[in-house]
Amino acid sequence: MKITVFGSGYVGLVTAACFARMGNKVLCVDIDAAKVAALQAGRVPIRERGLDDLVAATITSGHLSFTTDAAQGVAHGLYQFIAVGTPADEDGSADLRHVLAVAATIAAHMTDYRIIVDKSTVPVGTAQRVSAVIRDGLAQRGVGVPFAVVSNPEFLKEGNAVEDFMKPDRIIVGADDERAIREMQRLYAPFNRKSDRLLVMDPLSAELTKYAANAMLATKISVMNEFANIAERVGADIEQVRLGLGSDPRIGFHFIYPGAGYGGSCFPKDVSALIHTAREAGHPARILDAVQAVNECQKNRLFERIQQHFGHDLSGLTFALWGLAFKPGTDDMRDAPSRVLMEALWRAGARVRAHDPAAMTEARRLYPDAEALTLCDDPLSCLDGAEGLVVVTEWNVYRSPDFDDLKQRLRRPVIFDGRNLYDPQMLAEQGFGYYAIGRPVVAPASSAST
């Protein structure tokens, strides 16, 4: 089948490469000529497990190609996937300029039946707006070309996106056009062989499903962080509470890990957009407001812990920071807790020595002139001369460090753990002070108090 994908960002590139892997002829359209040239040469600008090899293999096989020519893209594929960015606007709503611009481009060039597929994460009602743009564009040309608009939201986890696309747990198709539904079923048949995971619904419900899914996961995170904050104040251990909660099959263990708050390109933006949608519809989304507020507070929790130990004036102090990406497996620092922490430390007069297995280049791009930031090539070297260690992202490389080496390198043996990676009792026995999330503060075994 012939497929066109507008947008070669995270969603667009994964979508294009995975469809190409199944033998489809996929043309990816982007307005950035330098990016298109790099991709055509096999250089992938996104860190995503397995994506580099997949893009290279499908380019070599002739199933995947890239262009800046929008007219060529519209002529190429029966399926016209829109996978461009929908950044948050100042009022929290999703900015649909790029989505609607692509719709106008398709309308300007289409000469035969096309299925326009909204793959971008978009607010409820976007399929209707895309349809209106295309109808207006065709009317301006004075032509009557049949088309259908389908909502087909993505459910990809950063760091596991290729696997999620190739082996989906559900495929949502929001459409009212019977021909479009049949064609979408045919397109996704290779991904749907073991059991029928394709759910057909109306476009409005499909659009809401995407936002509701991310809001539900964000809610679990914020609720668990709220429990962690309560645990700190009453002297309970949230990790023991987590085990008790997760053992209930109605709750389960997914997304109930307390930490430094959620970030990334999806949860913050999508929760804000759903709040905006609810308000526009006349409904105050009180729970979602609370989810968002708890998360913003949680991003400051590590800084509060540091001030609890060192006092409010951190002038002249240096802190080692492990983890810059918002989660393991990616270099994405959008809305990452690490950024909130570093900027708070700098305002308090402190310096930061940081390491991340993937996000060092992104950190340099975001903070090119940050004199108080030193990016270190390995986790241990960034400990040298630091007052304490702060763990922000739970990369595997940080899970089992040599604590004797840590103690020798740090000026003071204290760890602020934003992901609850370590055993408090073991650290106390080794002479560390230990501040975690939702757990009692641990003083070294030889100390009477912290």
Distance CA 137, CA 108 (A): 6
Mean of all residue pLDDT scores within the chain: 95
Per-residue model confidence (pLDDT) at position 29: 97
**Active centre residues (catalytic):** 266
Local confidence band at 450 (pLDDT 50, 70, 90 cut-offs): very low
Local confidence band at 445 (pLDDT 50, 70, 90 cut-offs): low
Per-residue model confidence (pLDDT) at position 442: 86
Local confidence band at 132 (pLDDT 50, 70, 90 cut-offs): very high
Per-residue model confidence (pLDDT) at position 88: 81
Write out pLDDT tens, residues 340-393.
Answer: 999 999 999 999 999 999 999 999 999 999 999 999 999 999 999 999 999 999
Mean pLDDT throughout 402-412?
A: 95
Write out pLDDT tens, residues 261-284.
Answer: 999 988 999 999 999 999 999 999
Mean pLDDT throughout 167-193?
A: 96
- Asked if the model's pLDDT at residue 4 lies above 80, the reply is yes
Write out pLDDT tens, residues 212-260.
Answer: 999 999 999 999 999 999 999 999 999 999 999 999 999 999 999 999 9
